[in-house]
Structure 1
Amino acid sequence: MLLITVLCLAGLAPGLATVWLVRRHTGWLLAVLAGVGVTAALPFLLLASLVLFPPLGIAVGLAAALAALRSYDRGRIWSATAWAGLTVLAVSCTRWFR
């Protein structure tokens, strides 16, 4: 569970940093919109990097598979299923299934 929390915070950190830096120049409304845009763009950036650099997809797939197995062993079915889905997504981006 700690790893999922760290990953969520790592995914939100660029958006929060954007809000913090942009708010001084434009105000809160545009800063929050910019932060939401940065946070929403991160999954697409990750998928693009997995497609363009297949060894990264293999590494992410292996790490997610290990996290899924660990979560299944601990009885956390929902988080384990999410990790397994990430494994399938990362490995499918490496174009092994063509």
Structure 2
Amino acid sequence: MLLALLVAAALAPGACTVWLLRRRGWGIAVLAGAGVTLALPFVLISSLIVFPPLAILAAVGCAVSALNAYNDGRIVMGAGWMAFAGVCTWCAGWPI
């Protein structure tokens, strides 16, 4: 359920951009929506670098989610959460 919410939150700005720009042509609207959607990870990582307490909080949340995934037997999902926890700790300036 959390993964579905994350996907919806990541795709919502791009979908809104396409909807608002559809009068200018679908080609331009789709390109703008794709640009907004693809820029979101870079905005997230730059906000984690600029504000390290947010990165630490995200790392702790990811580590807890990874432990829950490992406990449920979902090894790949746990590894993904731990990879993102590693990125968050790197953004906070902590050595991994």
Both structures adopt the same fold (TM-score exceeding 0.5): yes
Q: How high is the TM-score relative to the length of structure 2?
A: 0.95
State the partner residue of 1:77: 75
Q: Using the alignment, how far apart are the partners of 1:5 and 1:79 within structure 2?
A: 13
Provide structure 2 residue ranges, at least 5 long, that are not aligned to the other structure.
none
CA RMSD of aligned residues (A): 1.2
**TM-score normalised by length of structure 1:** 0.93
Tell me the number of residue pairs that the alignment of Structure 1 and Structure 2 aligns.
96
Corresponding residue number in structure 1 for 2:8: 9
Counterparts in 2 of 1:1-98, with a 5 A limit? 2-24=1-23, 26-97=24-95
* 1: CA distance, partners of 2:18 / 2:64: 34
User: C-alpha displacement at 1:53, in angstroms?
Assistant: 0.4
- For 2:14, the aligned partner's letter is G
Q: Quick one: percent identity of the two aligned structures? A: 47
Runs (4 or more) in structure 1 with deviation over 2 Å come to: none
Name the SS of the counterpart of 1:93 in structure 2.
helix
Q: Secondary structure at the match of 2:92?
A: coil
CA distance in 2, matches of 1:11, 1:60: 16
Question: 5+ unaligned residues in a row in structure 1: which ranges?
Answer: none
